[in-house]
Structure 1
Amino acid sequence: MPQLINILRGEMSLVGPRPLPLDYLPRYSPREATRLRVRPGLCGLAQAQGRDAVPWDARLE
């Protein structure tokens, strides 16, 4: 429920990149770091496309 309120406020989107642990930041390439410029989503596109069955590179893309 709190995430739906964040969507209505414009702080999150319905579909967008899921927030990842901050420990992953040093592993991002400059291209992969662009995901930090968009609002996080309630449901990630990678989740809808197969979650862990999708390779890491494809999920970030």
Structure 2
Amino acid sequence: MRPSAASDEQECRRLWTAYLDQYETAVTGGYQTTCSRLHSQGEFEPNGFIEEAVCR
């Protein structure tokens, strides 16, 4: 596991879109704000973590 990074945004957006499609719903606005909060420092900001599969 590792902390999320700004470079994860494209994949995160793809997964979020697939989630909304699965439940046949939509959320307007707020995505960019939430994504930027995942990568900012602050006592009350959410933190994101990524689990990566390592093939050996």
TM-score, normalised to structure 2, is: 0.25
Structure with the largest fraction of helix: 1
